[in-house]
A and B are shown apart, each in its own frame.
Chain A
């Protein structure tokens, strides 16, 4: 079970990077990067999980609570992912406008 839970995180990372490596469009590459990053959410939440524990709200649950530290880190992670995705999409738009293509293989030479 341990290997499976953390393995999902590793698989998401690898499959996302695989998507970036074989991408034929920049928007596709940006989405693949988001998939790769979502591996880190799964890893963090999996690290903080405890069987039978309640949500990290004090007083809401009689037993132990799951680890709030990694949940806070996941929130930071999601915010970073969202803002970087917006920035990269804006960049892709500019590239499409200036070079007329979003295929990374066609974006070779530098242009002044």
Chain B
């Protein structure tokens, strides 16, 4: 298909989508209005399970089975990307590039703070904004501050990729195991069967903190495995070019 024809095809399709979208928008409830049909039910359910962060209540309690699907999607995407990025790992890491002292100092200072922030975000998923997905991303990227300090050689020393490949599996398995344990009690797959505790304490909200932690492990491991794959490609390319 020529570029010209493709752009014409896009123009026709886009015009159709625009008309339909506008027609739909004109019949939507007013922006910023009070019509939110599901909100009351969700807020009540979250309060009953003593989960102040209602978004986490939706993700790890009310829609936990959807989050399990999402976790599986994440796992599949990481496995797929890792398979596509395999190879090129036999080459020894090149000499670390020179890094400015200031950058190294900041990286050393920020690393523990970032790790702590990531852990806090995962652990307090039921109480404050955050949860396994957000905290997992913070944890996974925190590890890569080491890259700023000593390049790939230092990164390879502090984060053995095999551990994170296992972590990816362990996170998904922990989520599934929590769900199966709930099913074994007769309450149903991923039902919130644990005691809800006192609102505001870290171990409240039943299975929400457990599932949040499982997702945190999986997301952090996934980020590390993905970035390890891409970083390997980067250095492989450098060597080929040089």
Which residues of A pack against B, CB within 8 Å? Answer: 1-7, 10, 13-14, 17-18, 21-22, 46-51, 55-60, 64-69, 71-72, 75-76, 78-80, 83-84, 86-87, 89-91, 93-94, 105
Contact = CB atoms under 8 A, between A and B. Distances in A.
Contacts of A91: 84
A3 B26 contact: yes
B206 interface: no
B49 to A, nearest CB: 11
Contacts of B102: none
Given A21-B9, A47-B28, A71-B58, 9 more contacts: A14-B17, A49-B31, A50-B32, A58-B47, A68-B46, A68-B55, A72-B55, A80-B70, A83-B74
B14 A17 contact: yes
Contact of A14 (B14, B54, B229): B14
Given A17-B14, A46-B31, A68-B43, A90 B52 contact: no
Nearest to A22: B7
Contacts of A59: 52
Interface stretch (B75-83, B146-154, B155-163): B75-83
10 contacts: A10-B25, A22-B10, A49-B32, A50-B33, A56-B53, A67-B42, A68-B55, A71-B55, A83-B222, A86-B77
- B interface, how many residues as a size bin? 35 or more
A11 to B, nearest CB: 9
Nearest to B88: A97
A57 B77 CA distance: 31
A89 B58 CA distance: 31
B66 interface: yes
Contacts of B70: 76, 79-80
A58 B32 CA distance: 20
A86 B31 contact: no
B54 A50 contact: no
A93 B17 contact: no
A66 B229 CA distance: 39
Contacts of B34: 50, 64
A80 B55 contact: no
Q: Which of A64, A80, A83 has the most CB of B within 10 A?
A: A83
B22 interface: yes
Interface in B27-57: 28, 30-34, 36, 38-39, 42-43, 46-47, 51-55, 57
Contacts of B32: 1, 5, 49-51
Contacts of A49: 31-32
Contact of B18 (A10, A48, A68, A87): A10
B116 interface: no
Contacts of A94: 84
A58 B46 contact: yes
